[in-house]
């Protein structure tokens, strides 16, 4: 099946194509449209035509349409989950239980949020009434990554549409299929043509043309810090609103008084879910010294027990990495860790999977110790199934180690001491801190990073604010 552009309410043929690879098999299984500036121009033009009607559509009606999309995603969960698994290499069970349900929840949540959103009004000394209008921007761009394709694409599209904008979205060329299918579902739901447009293809070609388009009023981007830095420079030239959610090198702090059963189980999940290809993964495991040996032993045992295999097999815990290029990068990072003096406690090699996956891009879940905070392995985002262990001696030491990178996206903290939990959480340089949990999300809360992990916030009312422009109206009484 080919992944096409979705422009003005329908899929359109492509003039050029890219191969679409199945990571678990290490071979192409279809094609994806390779868009250029002319495709982007058609998509933006369709969005511009649709904007006057869509922005004037009552919020309750927009809400009903978004809720219909959510129901269709739920209806097609199995089809979408399989497409996501084939495209990304992640276990089918993960796609079916997390990615696709969350995509439906994104539409459901913002369908509710836009009908409950309120503005402000201020009587001014009985002389005037000041009130705030929050108006949609127009055409907005949403660029999403390959690790959580439909999950994060809908996280951006849903609030933009709910607020009355028209969207041109560009998914990753490595994982295009669920975006293609989303276009079908939006058309079936009755979303007006041009309201949502999806342009497939390469970032330097299609993505660059979209970011540079003079009619694009805002950009929501999730991806690498390198690309985010480039996009920030480009959008600054035109004073375009921008939200950037970028890389992470997230710490996971385990104090000796923690519930170690729960801490170890969730630490393994945080390190290796989706093959470590989540920006929120806890790749730096910091353990208070009295508990270090016990935690290390438990982590090694659990990590070695993870089953690497065919993503379509229900028994698989760990699937394939997304591409050959990314596989080579992760393997190179493992070699760097060895050169830096790291001791591999578990994994550390390419994984062999027989049968149809014998040529796939699999890496064993890997734990490494013996590396200091300033080495490359503890400073650079690997974005694979690789985690390091470091001991600490006090809360102050733990905070210093946790904050010792240029990133600040997420952190986890395990302790039974509630006072310490609050104190340490406040000192961590992270956009989100989980205490005695990981990846427990509430869609009402703001999400984003600090330092080189991001600019701006998404989620809840912050997302609706981002996709609107406040206007103050002062009426003299």
Classify 275 in phi/psi space as left (phi over 0), alpha (psi -120 to 50) or beta.
Answer: left
DSSP per residue, 132-176: EEEEE-SEEEEE--SSSHHHHHHHHHHHHHHTT-EEEEE--TTS-
Please list the residues that pair with 348 across neighbouring strands: none
469 flagged as catalytic: no
| Separation between Cα atoms, residue 418 and residue 415, nearest integer Å | 7
Cβ-Cβ contacts under 8 Å for 298 (sequence gap 6 or more): 260, 264
Q: Which segments within 246-376 are labelled E, that is strand?
A: 251-254, 284-288, 343-346, 366-369
Per the residue annotation, which of 245, 288, 452, 458 is the catalytic one?
A: 245
Residue that the structure tokens 């809908």 belong to: 154
Would you say how long the chain is, in residues?
477
- Whether 321 and 275 have beta carbons less than 8 Å apart is answered as yes
Q: Taking a C-beta distance cutoff of 8 angstroms, is the pair 355, 310 a contact? A: yes
288-297 b/e (C-beta count within 10 Å ≥ 16 → b): beebbeebbe
Distance of CA 301 to the CA centre of its chain: 29
Give the position of tokens 């349900």.
101
Left (φ > 0), alpha (ψ -120 to 50) or beta: where does 9 sit?
left
Rounded to whole angstroms, how far apart are CA atoms 241 and 236? 8
- Tokens 């290809």 belong to 277
Structure tokens at 445: 């809360």
Residue (of 396, 355, 348, 384) closest to 369 by Cα position: 348
Q: Which of 279, 281, 333, 357 is catalytic?
A: 279
Phi-psi region of 265 (alpha: psi -120 to 50; beta: other; left: phi over 0): alpha
Instruction: Give the span between the Cα atoms of 365 and 346, in whole angstroms.
Output: 7
Active-site residue list: 245, 279
């Amino acid at each position: 099946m080919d992944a096409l552009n979705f422009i003005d309410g329908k899929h359109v043929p492509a003039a050029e194509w890219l191969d679409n690879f199945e990571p678990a098999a290490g071979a192409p299984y279809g094609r994806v449209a390779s868009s250029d500036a002319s495709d982007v121009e058609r998509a933006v033009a369709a969005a511009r035509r649709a904007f006057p009607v869509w922005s004037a559509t009552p919020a309750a009606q927009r809400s009903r349409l978004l809720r219909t999309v959510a129901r269709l995603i739920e209806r097609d969960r199995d089809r979408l989950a399989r497409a996501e698994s084939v495209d990304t290499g992640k276990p089918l069970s993960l796609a079916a239980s997390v990615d696709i349900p969350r995509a439906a929840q994104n539409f459901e949540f913002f369908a509710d949020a836009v009908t409950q959103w309120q503005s402000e009004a201020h009587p001014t000394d009985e002389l005037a009434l000041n009130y705030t209008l929050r108006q949609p921007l127009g055409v907005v761009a949403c660029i999403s990554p390959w690790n959580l394709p439909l999950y994060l694409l809908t996280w951006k599209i849903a609030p933009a549409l709910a607020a009355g904008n028209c969207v041109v979205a560009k998914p990753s060329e490595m994982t295009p299929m669920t975006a293609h299918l989303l276009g079908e579902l939006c058309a079936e739901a009755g979303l007006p043509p041009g309201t949502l447009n999806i342009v497939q293809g390469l970032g330097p070609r299609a993505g660059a043309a979209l970011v540079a388009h003079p009619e694009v009023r805002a950009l929501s981007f999730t991806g690498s810090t390198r690309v985010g830095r480039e996009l920030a420079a480009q959008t600054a030239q035109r004073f375009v609103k921008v939200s950037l959610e970028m890389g992470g090198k997230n710490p996971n702090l385990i104090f000796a008084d923690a519930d170690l059963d729960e801490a170890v189980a969730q630490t393994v999940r945080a390190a290796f879910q989706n093959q470590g290809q989540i920006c929120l993964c806890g790749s730096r495991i910091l353990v208070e010294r009295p508990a270090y040996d016990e935690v290390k032993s438990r982590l090694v045992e659990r990590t070695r027990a993870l089953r690497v295999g065919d993503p379509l097999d229900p028994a698989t815990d760990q699937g394939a990495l997304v591409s050959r290029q990314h596989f080579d990068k992760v393997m190179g990072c493992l070699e760097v860790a060895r050169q830096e003096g790291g001791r591999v406690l578990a994994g550390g090699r390419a994984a062999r999977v027989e049968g149809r996956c014998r040529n796939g891009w699999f890496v064993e879940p890997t734990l490494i110790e013996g590396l200091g905070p300033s080495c490359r392995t503890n400073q650079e985002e690997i974005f694979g199934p690789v985690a390091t262990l470091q001991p600490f001696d006090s809360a102050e030491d733990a905070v210093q180690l946790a904050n010792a990178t240029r990133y600040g996206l997420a952190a986890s903290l395990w302790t039974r001491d509630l006072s310490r939990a609050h104190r340490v959480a406040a000192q961590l340089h992270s956009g989100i801190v989980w205490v005695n949990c990981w990846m427990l999300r509430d869609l009402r809360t703001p999400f984003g990073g600090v330092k080189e992990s991001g600019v701006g916030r998404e989620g809840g009312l912050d997302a609706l604010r981002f996709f609107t422009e406040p206007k103050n109206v002062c009426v003299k009484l």
